Amino acid sequence: MAKTIITCAITGAIHTPTMSDALPINSEMIYEQAVEAAHAGAAILHLHARNPDNGAPSINPDHFMEFLPRIKAETDAIVNISTGGSLSTGIEERMAPALRASPEMCSLNMGSLNFAMHPLADRYKTWKYDWEEAYVRGSEGNIFRNTFEDIGKVAETLGKAHGCRFEHECYDVGHLYNLKFCVDQGMFTAPVFLQFVMGILGGIAANIDNLVFMKHTADRLFGDDYRWSVIGAGAAQMRLGAVAAQMGGNVRVGLEDSLFIERGKLATSNAQQVRKMRDILEMQGNEIATPDEARASLALKGAANVTF
């Protein structure tokens, strides 16, 4: 069985500062936790930025450049920059950080969907920052736009012009068919890297039946020409990761998608989640991929070819 690639998604755009003191909300925290997660065994760092003034999700390339060179100087991990960091702006703005940095990898969301976290808001009575409650409650009305035209722009600019390869985020089975269509159009080359995103309100639920269904569908569509990984958002994070690794897949952890280390207990850092996932995987006989092993498996351009 191939070695297991651990991706760690350090901060994302779902959770807000009130929800956990461990959530990185500025460039210094992102840098520190990313380096620690890499040293704990994450081969890929999936990165968003935050506005240092108030901890809000940011797609300002300047905010990314505050931590990218420092992470590169201290780790050999693969840097993966999000192109999905805002639910309220178009793909042009969302691509800007990756265009500045020309990373080895970017996220690419494979379809439009409702993307909601408003039920989380009822857990909190007071909020650290003014923007948070409206942001979380307002997601009830969110459409996360990722049309074929949007996907095509990312493929042309970041893919063809910059040689970036993608974490194709698939939130439901239909997104696998969207990707198959794009591959057949010549927009992406094998091996594509699929991220099964399970447990987001608006996408497929996080359970083993659905994981097997996603995997079987991907097998039918892509044969042997793909790699895959799973996000079990929220409480399913460790459980689905463990099962995916046994099925030959890879795993993503990180505070972007779950703030917890076990039921009812907040994680103290991203690295704590990486270490727990790593321990589970090693106990069940999976070997962990190094960054260079992940580069070879995903056919990446190499860390020497980025612009940060």
Query: What residues line the site for ligand KMH (CB under 6 A)?
Result: 12, 14, 82-85, 107, 109, 169, 197, 200, 231, 233, 256-257
Query: CB-wise, 239 or 292, nearer to ligand KMH?
Result: 239
Interatomic CA distance for residues 263 and 214, integer angstroms = 26
If you search the block for the tokens 């901890």, which residue do you land on? 55
Is the distance from CB of 303 to CB of 17 less than 8 angstroms?
A: no
Which region among 58-66, 77-85, 91-99, 181-189 touches Zn ion (by CB under 5 A)?
A: 77-85
Among 82, 83, 195, 237, binds Zn ion (CB under 5 A): 82
d(CA 32, CA 247): 32
Nearest residue to Zn ion by CB is 82
Closest approach, Cβ 220 to Zn ion, in A, equals 27
Toward ligand KMH, which CB reaches closer, 51 or 292? 51
Beta bridge pairs of residue 203: 201
What is the nearest approach in angstroms of ligand KMH to the Cβ of residue 224?
26
Segment contacting Zn ion (CB under 5 A): 12-20, 108-116, 137-145, 274-282? Answer: 12-20
Nearer to ligand KMH, 104 or 256 (CB): 256
Nearest Cα neighbor of 86 from 139, 133, 134 is 139
Length of the chain: 308
b/e per residue 160-189 (b: at least 16 CB within 10 A): eebebbbbbbbbbeebbebbbebbeeebbe
Comparison of 150 and 256: residue with beta carbon closer to ligand KMH: 256
| Residue 11 within binding range of Zn ion, rule CB under 5 A | no
Shortest gap between Cβ of 98 and ligand KMH (angstroms)? Answer: 10
For Zn ion, the closer CB: 12 or 199: 12
Q: Hey, how many other C-beta atoms are within 10 angstroms of the C-beta on 249?
A: 24
Nearest residue (CB) to ligand KMH, 255 versus 306: 255
C-alpha dihedral (239, 133, 20, 56), degrees to nearest 10: 100
> Helix, strand, coil shares of the chain as percentages rounded to 5?
45, 20, 35
3-state secondary structure string, 142-193? Answer: CEECCCHHHHHHHHHHHHHHCCCEEEEEECCHHHHHHHHHHHHCCCCCCCEE
Are 100 and 66 in contact by the 8 Å Cβ rule? The answer is no
If the CB atoms of residues 12 and 291 are measured against ligand KMH, the closer one turns out to be 12
Q: How far is the CB of 73 from ligand KMH (least distance, A)?
A: 24
Please give the Cα distance from 218 to 194 (Å, whole number): 9
Distance of closest approach, residue 80 Cβ to ligand KMH, in angstroms = 9
Cβ 94 vs Cβ 59: under 8 Å: yes
58 binds, among Zn ion, ligand KMH, none (CB under 5 to 8 A by kind): none
Candidates 74-82, 224-232, 280-288, 293-301 — which segment interacts with Zn ion by CB under 5 A? 74-82
- From the list Zn ion, ligand KMH, none, partner contacted by residue 257 (C-beta under 5 to 8 A by kind): ligand KMH
Could you tell me the smallest distance in angstroms from the CB atom of residue 109 to ligand KMH? 5
Residue ranges in contact with Zn ion by CB under 5 A: 12, 82
